Structure 1
Amino acid sequence: MARIKPQALLLQSKKKKAPSGVSVPTIIVYILIVAVMVFSLFSTYKYWSRRSILQTQDGISNRKFIERKKSDIPNYALISTSKGQITVELYKDGSPDIVNEFIDFSQKGHFKGMQFTRVVKNFVIQGSKIENSEATEDWTSRGKHYSQLNTSLKHEAFMLGTSKATHEGGGFDLFITTAPIPDLNDKINIFGRVIKGEDVVQEIEEVDTDDHYRPKTPVQINEVTLKHKT
């Protein structure tokens, strides 16, 4: 039997042993991958945390802005007429859209020189800058009807409103009731009530009118002034 030399045995032993450890480059790659994943997760967490804080701050700011804007809305309107002054409390909570529109028209001077074009006793006085498209017969029949009504009806007198009808040209008319009106919500959008100057409203109501309820002597609104306090 041939005898194996010690050098040959050493070579065979090295060939049989497989490398048991992971190479250094592989370890480095693994470390880089883990580092990238950790960095990505941290960046994502930081982004969403910051966004949540900003949204919360924006929500608080918007809420404060809305509250501030609401508090900036005037509470009263002083309507100066050729017969005297009428003070109106605005329903900015109950009718905010109409109140905002009224304020916008007031600030633009829309009501300066506006004539009271219809005066119907025991019904309403109306100020408008455009010719009412409603038939005169309708106004006449309404005036006769409401003059005979009992004053215990559900809607009060001295309420300020505007017509629900859409006006061409962006007009805004004013109605002040002089008696309780049963179907007020069907005809007028109410956005305030007279708290001072009821006597002025009644004086306008008593002016002489023609057969179409137009005042024979012009009565007009001189100016509308907005106030936070009376």
Structure 2
Amino acid sequence: MTVTKTGTAGRASFDRLRMSARGELVEPRALRVLSLLCGFCLLSVTILSQSTGPVIVVETSKGTFEFETYPTEAPRTVAHVVDLVKRRFYDGQRLHRALPGFLVQWGDPRSREAAREADWGRGAEASSGQPIGVSEMTKKRANTRGAVAMAHQGNPALADSQIYVTLADRPDLNGKYTVFGHVIAGDDVLPRLERGDSVVRMYLRQ
């Protein structure tokens, strides 16, 4: 058997070729392009995963729904709500507002008291007492169906613990409230909710 030596030019030409995943020969330039595309895809997935934060579970007397949060766009708001959830601030409250085709709302600690129903959702006591305002309001997140946002009583500076969820697209609310999340599960529960229904508990999904 005769062994033939490959010339310098031949070796250089061969070295420039590589095998693709399907066994096809590809040039290094193509490999670099594929590598860049893969890197871009991984970066996109990473960015998307980082754009959403803790998922909050809301158990009500009519069923359970969940919403994701947007800490990248509303870090202070998300941190505030997460803190209230961890402190069980919302547990045992009742919905003080439920308007078919519009929204459902809760977050007034006095709603646990049936005798004070006339005052639910109103006045300085209708919150946690730690207002954060709407400084994180952004046009990136609109009040589409299932949007979760911080409510306020006509004064944006008083946005605190009251949360609303839209039951339909409400562009008229855009630019007025901080949208910090969106319902991702159990949205069939929302239309069944009525004023006085209980928020049994809220917690972070593990």
- Shorter-chain TM-score bucket reads 0.5 to 0.7
| 1:1-230 equivalences in 2 (<5 Å) | 75-129=54-108, 131-133=120-122, 155-164=143-152, 165-167=156-158, 171-204=160-193, 207=194, 215=195, 218-228=196-206
Q: Which digits, 9 at most, give the CA deviation of each residue in 1:82-141, with x for residues without a partner?
A: 11111111111121110000011111111001211011111111113153348xxxxxxx
- Identify unmatched segments of 5+ residues in structure 2: 1-49, 111-119, 124-141
- Contact 1:75–1:90 at 8 Å: present in 2 too? yes
For 2:56 and 2:173, the matched residues in 1 are separated by 21
Q: Verify the 8 A CA contact 2:149 2:180 in the aligned structure 1.
A: yes
- State the secondary structure of the residue aligned to 2:96: strand
Identity over aligned residues, as a percent?
22
Cα 1:115/1:182, change in 2 over 3 Å: same
Deviation at 1:223, TM superposition (A): 1.0
Question: Which residue number in structure 1 is paired with residue 29 of structure 2?
Answer: none
1:20-70 deviations in whole A, cap 9, x for unaligned? xxxxxxxxxxxxxxxxxxxxxxxxxxxxxxxxxxxxxxxxxxxxxxxxxxx
SS at match of 1:125: strand
1:185 Cα deviation from its structure 2 partner: 3.0
Q: Specify the SS of the correspondent of 1:199.
A: coil
8 Å contact kept, 1:116–1:219: yes
Displacement of 1:171 in angstroms is 5.0
Q: Gaps spanning 5+ residues in structure 1: where?
A: 1-70, 135-153, 208-214
For 2:188, what is the secondary structure of its paired residue?
helix
The structure with the greater share of residues assigned to helix is 1
Q: With structure 2 as the length reference, what TM-score do the two structures score?
A: 0.54
Q: Secondary structure at the match of 1:98?
A: helix
Q: TM-score, normalised by structure 1?
A: 0.49
1: distance between equivalents of 2:175 and 2:166? 14
Q: CA deviation digits over 1:153-194, x for unaligned, max 9?
A: x64111111124344xx9501100001111223432111000
Distance 1:175 1:188 in 2: 10
SS at match of 2:174: helix
Indicate the RMSD between aligned Cα atoms, in angstroms: 2.4
Measure, in 1, the Cα distance between the counterparts of 2:53 and 2:68.
Answer: 9
Once residues 155 and 161 of structure 1 are traced to their aligned partners in structure 2, the CA distance between those partners, rounded to angstroms, is 8
What letter matches 2:147 in structure 1?
A: M
